[in-house]
Amino acid sequence: MDNAKASFYLSQFIGKPLRIHTSDGRVFGGQMKCTDKDRNIILALTYEYRSPSAEVIRKAIEASGNPSAPVNWNSRYVGLVVIPGEHVRKIEFEESAYSGHKSGMVL
Amino acid sequence: MDVASSSANSSRVHNDGSVYAPISLPLRQAFKQHVAKTNIHNITEKFTKACNGLDVGQLVKDEYFTLFESIGALEIMDPKMDSGFLQPGETLEDDYDPLTPLLPDELIGIMDQLLCYEMAWHTGYPLSQTLFTSLHIDRLLWPETKVFEHAQFYRGDVEEGKRPGVFLEVLRAYCLALVKGCDFVIAKVTGRDYFEEEDFCTNTYNRVLFVQVPVDVFARELDAAVDLMEDPDLDIPDALRKAITTRLDFRKSFLTALDLDLPLDNLSRYWAPILSSITTIKNTHALGTPVPSSFSTKIQRKLASTVPPRPIVDLAFADALAKLTQLCTDCEEATRFTTLPLDPLEYQAFLWTFASRDPTPLPYSRSYLSTILFDPATLNTSISLPLTDIRSLVFPSSPILDPLNWTLSPPRNPLLPKPPRLQLALLIDDFVDRAGQPYLDFWIALGQNRCRLRRMLTHVIIAWDFLQVDAALVDADLMATCQQLGVEPQVLDNPLTAWVYVKKLWMMEKVVLLGFEQDIYLPDEFAGMYYFLSVVAAKRAAELDRCEKHVGERTMQLIGASRYQDAQDVDDMGPYVDSELQQAKGVSEFAKALYRFYTILLYLGLIPHLKRPFSTEELRYELRMKPFLALQPVEVPLFAEFQAALQPYGSYSSPSSSASLQADLRDPDSALWTSIDAAIKAAKDAFARVKKYGSRKSKASGVEQAWGKEVNGLLASCVALGVGVAGVKDAVGKAEGDADSGTGALGVKVEIPKVGEGKRYAEGWVVGKVVKV
């Protein structure tokens, strides 16, 4: 991808909600503010999500008897964060389009 | 009903006058719940590729997002910044279940541990490292409950077998009351008129400490817990039962005392019950078994905090109880404020003494006192507090303050001149208004901790300096009006300026003395600072001397006019003014003696004189005088003057007039020595007279004991200095013959008593001790 294309592609996501999965299994959801060549990403208004521990899952299943019982993830507001590129495992774009609207984004 | 009449055909007016839209209009479209379809796109690959396409250093960013803002971002996965970062193998959750049944001794252990953390918090550590490390408290507060009864060690339903037992219920009541107590403490500390607490951490990390729940709910929980404990069917050794109920009782009385809405009268009765239960708690502490696993640093990850977990603060139980005792005694002492005579000078003495308490009062106690001080019941008195203060010093039965002045009405035509007496009243009212804020600022400063008090006083002094300028303007008008009335001889010259000036100088003296108290100055600076102190105090003495003379004259005038009652009243003012005068004189003379003493020690090389290659004496002098440089009239002596006073024989290491120095040193009757002795004697006499007046006449009756101790300390310091001077004089005399009088040759050395070791008779007065080697 050449520089102009790359810049255009990335700048579409500015101010848009991204979900970033980090190497330790957490997910950060927030608005993208900034990124660079090393794929460091700055998110604003971020929430941290952490999968429940095995213990909690085990208990929930035991309690309900249903092996696919829903268990809530723990979330916490963390605000403005920078996620170093090396720890980024997966990036998801959260498109919330109202029916009939086209986001017009090149994905 | 304009609306109704104009649109009567399209809308209907109902009996009650309300207007409704006609029914025939189409209803507005109901707000449609947009259930936005959320599509999640995995863009990892393309994003990564695009990033690779960027140049080094190129940023793709929101144009309003600045580098400055980005500095505030937390770096994820950085162990120092990311509070959610787990070390390999570390778990987020704790293994301890707050529903684990407790034994009675474990209950005592947890209660005592909580008390330790509570006191650690009072001494300045954040809640996150103290009380919020308790899993029990965490469970009560989080997830937050809407209904108070739901604040349990569990949420929702719990199996019958796991329902908390008696001891857990008791612990719950204890924890709830504890948390509410913290809420009260925070409210009191942050509720002060001036809040900028540096020794106390009010952050609750987004946890709500039952702010909305009234205090009696907690009292009820505690009572219920006591009932549970006293149930005869409960199988528990009596000693343990007693220990637990004592702790519950303690918690209840403590919570009551912390309550914000207590009336000012009778405040003192709340603290004694707490103090009496402390002994029992101490004696039964050994019965408890600690449960360390019920506390964890991991909770900090769940708090709204941006720092990774920090270690739990451990305060030993004995220390915690000592702090608690101190807190209660300080607060009890603070309640005595309500019993003081209605006199701002009494208030001032009380505030000053309270701030000087040793150990220094905890932030809560200080807030407690300022809440009483700034309570409307204290401030809204029938008399104006600043005016009472002014009257005590400069207006002995003065025509300026004649109540009649306030009864005159202004002329109906605003262009006509006002009667002069009314002008006096208006001028005074204006000035009192103007002085109100600086006056309050002064009191606020007195409510801070010692270090801050010193720093804040320097700012208050500046405010009073401005006030002095305004006072001079008002004084000019006052004097002109008095001249018009022909009552000039009955009034002190420039009374308001005199009052402001005396107060300002007093604060300056205190700033210097606090500097000594807080070990700001090095031994080789002692001479200079005491010199400055002596200069300032001498100015205050001169001003007070004027006031005192005026009181005397005024008494004679009144006797001459056969107004014996008034004469008596004025005469009664005399002791206060004279006591202040003697105090100022004593300070000035004693500081003079000390500065001369330290100058001699510097010449003799008995005090280490540091080499400072990167600064000059002039710059250091400027630095020390910085807070006072802007003042008018000029208070800081010129450097040349200062130099001449401190180094009369040239520099300390190589005196230019060495011969005369040696001669003066050896001659016990030279001015060098006799001036010190004279100054010590003058200081001693002055302090003795202050002592004779006693605390009541010096307007410090509320703090009689501390006042007496201070005066005695000053007197003892004078004696100690006399001994020190004699020691050096002797040593110099004996060393006669030796041309070179170095330290070794003199056979004595000087020990500087350290702060807080109890070796100073008065903390602000450092008297070096001369000992033989």
User: pLDDT averaged over chain A?
Assistant: 86
- The token duo for B119 is 């006191």
pLDDT attached to residue B12: 45
Q: What integer pLDDT is reported at residue B35 of this predicted model?
A: 61
Q: How far is CA B228 from the centre of its chain?
A: 42
pLDDT tens-digit readout, A72-94 = 888 888 889 999 999 999 999 98
Among candidates B36, B62, B306 on the partner chain, residue whose Cβ is nearest the Cβ of A15: B62
Give B54's contacts in chain A (Cβ within 8 Å): 3, 6-7, 10, 36-37
Count CB-CB contacts under 10 A for residue B549: 13
Half-sphere exposure of B123 (CA within 13 A, CB side): 20
Which of A24, A39, A53 lies nearest to residue B91, judging by beta carbons?
A53
**Given an 8 Å threshold on Cβ–Cβ distance, is A80 in contact with B73?**
yes
Peptide bond into B359 cis (omega under 30): yes
Counting residues of chain A whose pLDDT is more than 90, the rounded percentage is 53
Measured CA to CA, the distance from residue A49 to residue A21 in angstroms comes to: 9
Chain A contact for B162 (CB, 8 A cutoff): no
E strands along B389-497, which residues?
none
Question: How many interchain CB pairs under 8 A, A with B?
Answer: 161
Interface test with B, best of A5, A9, A28 (most B CBs within 10 A): A9
Contact at 8 Å (CB) between B685 and B570? no
B40, B50, B91: residue with CB nearest A94: B40
Interface touch A84/B75, C-beta < 8 Å? yes
Query: In this complex, do A81 and B41 lie within 8 Å of one another by their Cβ atoms?
Result: no
Residues of B in contact with A90 (CB under 8 A): 42, 44
- Considering only B84-88, B252-256, B671-675, which range has the smallest mean pLDDT? B84-88
Distance, in Å, from the CA atom of B541 to the CA atom of B585, rounded to the nearest integer, reads 6
The verdict on a CB contact (< 8 Å) between A76 and B52 is: no
Question: A38 to chain B: which residues are within 8 Å by CB?
Answer: 51
pTM of the model: 0.84
DSSP conformation class of B739: S
A14 touches chain B (CB under 8 A): yes
Residue B365 and residue B331 in contact, taking contact as beta carbons nearer than 8 Å: yes
Q: Which residue has the higher pLDDT, B318 or A50?
A: B318
**Do the beta carbons of residue B366 and residue B199 sit within 8 Å?**
no
Across the interface, whether the CB atoms of B93 and A3 are under 8 A apart is answered: no
Q: What is the pLDDT of residue B494?
A: 94
A5 vs B266, which has greater pLDDT?
A: A5
Q: Is some CB atom of chain B closer than 8 A to the CB atom of A1?
A: yes
pLDDT tens digit sequence for B581-598: 999 999 999 999 999 999
Phi, psi torsion values for B696, nearest 5 degrees: -65, -50
> Which residues, numbered 581 to 620 in chain B, qualify as contacts with chain A under a Cβ-Cβ cut-off of 8 Å?
none
Other C-beta atoms within 10 Å of B71: how many? 9
**Which of chain B's residues have a Cβ under 8 Å away from the Cβ of A44?**
65
- Mean pLDDT lowest for which of B323-337, B375-389, B447-461, B632-646? B375-389
Spell out the alpha helix ranges (H) of B374-408. 376-379, 385-394
Whether B734 has its CB under 8 Å from any CB of chain A: the answer is no
Which of A14, A82, A94 lies nearest to residue B75, judging by beta carbons? A82
Q: What is the mean pLDDT of chain B?
A: 89
Instruction: List, for residues B58-75, the tens digit of each pLDDT value.
Output: 999 988 888 888 888 989
> Min CA distance, B126 vs chain A (Å)?
19
Asked if residue B520 has pLDDT above 50, the reply is yes
How is residue B352 written in tokens?
Answer: 């000053």
DSSP lists the bridge partners of residue A93 as A18, B41
Query: In the structure encoding, which two tokens stand for residue B763, read together?
Result: 């903390």
B322-334 burial by CB neighbour count: b if 16+ within 10 A, else e? bbbebbbbbbbbb
Closest CA to B575 of B490, B484, B727, B698: B698
Residues of chain B with pLDDT > 90, as a percent, come to: 66
Average of per-residue pLDDT across A41-65: 85
Distance from the Cα of A32 to chain B's closest Cα (Å) equals: 8
- Verify whether the Cβ–Cβ distance A79 to B306 is below 8 Å: yes
Give the gap in angstroms from C-alpha B142 to the nearest C-alpha of chain A.
13
The neighbour count for residue B586, using CB atoms within 10 Å, is 25
Of A34, A36, A38, the CB nearest to B65: A34
Among A14, A23, A85, the residue with its CB nearest the CB of B62 is A14
Tens-place pLDDT, residues B386-443:
999 999 999 988 899 999 999 988 888 888 888 999 999 999 999 999 999 999 999 9
Confidence of residue B384 (pLDDT cuts 50, 70, 90): confident
* CA dist., res. B740 & res. B480, Å (int): 65
Burial B76-107 (b: 16+ CB within 10 A, else e): bbeeebbbbbbeeeeeeebeeebbeebebbbb
Instruction: Return the DSSP state at B361.
Output: P
Q: What is the mean pLDDT of residues B76-87?
A: 84
Q: Do B50 and A1 touch (CB under 8 A)?
A: yes
Whether a cis peptide bond, with omega within 30° of 0, leads into B633 is yes
| Residue A99 sits at the chain B interface (C-beta within 8 Å) | yes
Q: How many CB atoms lie within 10 A of CB A33?
A: 25
What residue segments make up the domains of chain A, in order of their start? Answer: 3-93
Nearest-Cα distance to chain A for B140, in Å, is 18
Is the pLDDT at B302 greater than 70? The verdict is yes
Q: What pLDDT band is residue B36 in, cutting at 50, 70 and 90? A: low
Contact B37 A96 (CB under 8 A): yes
Report strand pairing: B74-75 vs A74-83: parallel
Q: From the CB of residue B467, how many other CB atoms can be counted at a distance below 10 Å?
A: 23
Q: Please name the CATH architecture into which domain A3-93 falls.
A: Roll (2.30)
Distance CA(B638)–CA(B532), nearest Å, equals 11
- Two tokens at B88? 């390999």
Q: What phi and psi, each to the nearest 5 degrees, are found at residue A92?
A: -125, 140
CA dist., res. B374 & res. B586, Å (int): 33
User: Could you give the 3-state DSSP secondary structure of residue A78?
Assistant: strand
Whether residue B88 contacts residue B143, with contact meaning beta carbons closer than 8 Å, is answered with no
Q: Is the pLDDT of residue B119 over 70?
A: yes
Inter-chain CB proximity A95 and B41 less than 8 Å: yes
d(CA B708, CA B714): 10
Distance from CA of B47 to the nearest CA of A (A): 7
Region B649-664: mean pLDDT is: 87
pLDDT of residue B744: 52
For B212-225, the pLDDT digits (tens) are: 999 999 999 999 99
pLDDT-derived band at B84, boundaries 50, 70, 90: confident
The angle that helices B104-122 and B166-190 make with each other, rounded to 10 degrees, is 10
Q: Are the C-beta atoms of residues B645 and B531 closer than 8 Å to each other?
A: yes
**Distance in angstroms (rounded) separating the CA atoms of residues B447 and A13:** 54
Distance from CA of A14 to the nearest CA of B (A): 6
* Per-residue pLDDT, B265: 81
Average pLDDT over residues B744-748: 75
Task: Count other Cβ atoms within 10 Å, centred on residue B286.
Answer: 12
Q: Of B538, B649, B675, B532, give the one whose Cα is nearest residue B596.
A: B675
pLDDT at B6 over 80: no
**Residues of B with CB below 8 A from A96's CB?**
36-39
**Residue A33 contacts B, CB cutoff 8 Å:** yes
Virtual CA dihedral for B666, B670, B676, B680, nearest 10 degrees?
110
Which residues 6+ apart lie within 8 Å of A101 measured at CB? Answer: none
The pLDDT value given to residue B736: 62
What are B240's two structure tokens? 């343990």
DSSP bridge partners of B37:
A97
CA distance from start to end of chain A: 14
| pLDDT band with cut points at 50, 70 and 90 for residue B24 | low
What would the pLDDT profile of B407-417 be if each residue is shown by its tens digit?
Answer: 988 888 888 88
Average pLDDT over residues B636-654: 91
Are residues A37 and B51, on separate chains, in Cβ contact within 8 Å?
yes
Average pLDDT (B303-331) is 91
Closest by alpha carbon to B284, among B227, B252, B245, B251? B245
* pLDDT at B115 (0 to 100): 97
- Residue B634 predicted with pLDDT over 50: yes
* Structure confidence by residue, pLDDT tens digits, B335-365: 999 999 989 999 999 999 999 998 899 999 9
For residue B3, what pLDDT is reported?
A: 41
Chain B 48-107, residues with CB within 8 Å of chain A CB atoms: 48-62, 65, 69-70, 72-78, 83-86, 91-93
pLDDT of residue B471: 96
pLDDT at position B86: 82
Indicate the SS3 state at residue B597: helix
Residues 285-344 of B with CB under 8 A from A: 302, 304, 306
The arithmetic mean of pLDDT across residues B116-130, rounded, is: 96
For residues B120 and B125, give the distance between their C-alpha atoms in angstroms, rounded to a whole number.
Answer: 6
Q: Give yes or no for A51 touching B (CB within 8 A).
A: no
Q: Locate tokens 């507060």: which residue?
A: B141
**CB pair distance less than 8 Å for B51 and A87:** no
| Helix, strand counts (H, E) of chain A | 2, 5
CB contact under 8 Å between B49 and A6, yes or no, is: yes
Contact status, residue B445 vs residue B510, Cβ threshold 8 Å: no
**Distance to chain B for A8, nearest Cα, Å:** 9
pLDDT computed for residue B309 by the predictor? 84
- Residue B572 has what pLDDT? 87
Contact A78 B50 (CB under 8 A): no
Residue of B51, B58, B206 to mutate for A, most A C-beta atoms under 10 A? B51
* Contact flag A22-B77 (C-beta cutoff 8 Å): yes
Give B78 to chain A, closest Cα distance, Å: 9
Alpha-carbon gap, residue B298 to B295, rounded angstroms: 9
Query: Which residues from B are below 8 Å from A55, CB to CB?
Result: 93
Token reading at B36 = 């936005």
Chain B residues in contact with A10 (beta carbon < 8 A): 47, 50-51, 54, 60
pLDDT band for B5, please (50, 70, 90 cuts): very low
By CB neighbour count within 10 A (0-12 exposed, 13-18 middle, 19+ buried), where does B114 fall? buried
